[in-house]
Amino acid sequence: MPVSGSKLGPYTLHELINSGGMSEIWLATNDAGASFAVRTMLNNSTFAFTERKRFNTGAETLRACQDGQLIIGYVEHGKIGGELALVMEYVEGENLKLLMGANDPVLTENIAQVLIDFASAMEVVHGRGFMHLDIKPENVLLTRNGSLRLIDFDLAQPIPNPPRKLDKNPGTPAYMAPEQLLRQPVDHRADIWAWGVSAYELLTFKKPFPGENPDEVLRRQLDRKDFVSPRELNPDIPPALENVVLRCLEKDMEKRYPYTSKLVHELKQGLYV
C-alpha cells in the first residue's frame, strides 16, 4: 500500500486527501512538479475481481465524459509503478456535503450557479451516453472561486433504452429514485431524481425523504405524508426554482424531465441566467 513519499511511476505521493470505500486519493506531483490527484485501490489482493472491474470501469467512463470544465479531469489509468491507479486533475476544494455542513459562503453565496453547473455536469455525462448512478453533494467538488467538478464514476453505466433493471443496486439510498429502491427498470431519470434530492438539500439543509434505512426512505417517497415543499423551509427560493426541483422529485419517472438538457434550460430560465 502506498505511503507518503513513495513513487508510483513518475508520480511522488505527498498527502492523503481521502480514504474510504475501495480506494484512497493522494496529492501527488510528477517529475516536472505539476500537481495531480492519484487514486489507488485499497484491496490489492489477487481475488479483488469486483473492485478492480469497478475501478477500471469508473476510470474509463470518466475518460469518456471529459469536457474540460465541469467533470474532474482525466490524465491516465492502469498499472502505474506496480499499482492500479487513476491519475486525475488536482482541484483544491471541498465537496458540497462538507461545505453545506459548514454553511460555507462559497456555497451559499453561489448557490444558483452551483445548481446550474451541477445539472450541466450531469448533462455532459448523459450526453456521452452514461448514467452516473451516484449523484449526491458528496460527489461534487467546489473550489474557493466557485468552480465545480463532478467526481466518482465508479457506479456509472451506459444509459439503457428502454429502461432496464440493474443487476445490482448501487448508490446511496437517500438519493435513490423510487424505481431503483423498488428494483424496477431505471434509466438516466434516476440521476435527475438524485439531482432533485441534492438540490432540495442544498437549498433547505434537509433531505426531502429522510430515513434510517432504504425501506423508510422508500415509504416516505411513495406516501408523501410528511413531505415539506422547499419554499416552506426556505421562503427565499424562487417559485420557478421550486417547480424545477419538484418536477425532478416526481415519483413517476415519466413525469420527471425526459432529458437533462430540458432540466438545465428550465433551471436557467427560473434563475434568470
List active site positions: 134
DSSP 73: P
Asked if 176 and 194 touch (Cβ cutoff 8 Å), the reply is yes
Burial of residue 219, with CB atoms counted within 10 A of its CB: 0-12 exposed, 13-18 middle, 19 or more buried: middle
Q: Based on C-alpha coordinates, what's the Rg of the chain?
A: 19
Residue 199 makes CB contacts below 8 A (sequence gap 6+) with 115, 118, 244, 245, 248
CB-CB contact of 5 with 13 (8 Å): yes
User: To 5 degrees, how large is the angle CA 237–CA 238–CA 241?
Assistant: 90
220 CB-near residues (< 8 Å, 6+ apart): 209, 210, 211, 226, 227
Cell 486525475 belongs to residue = 88
Best CA proximity match to 91, nearest among 77, 70, 119, 106:
70
Name residue 60's amino acid: E
**Residue 114 phi, psi (nearest 5):** -60, -45
3-class state of residue 51 by DSSP: helix
d(CA 247, CA 207): 16
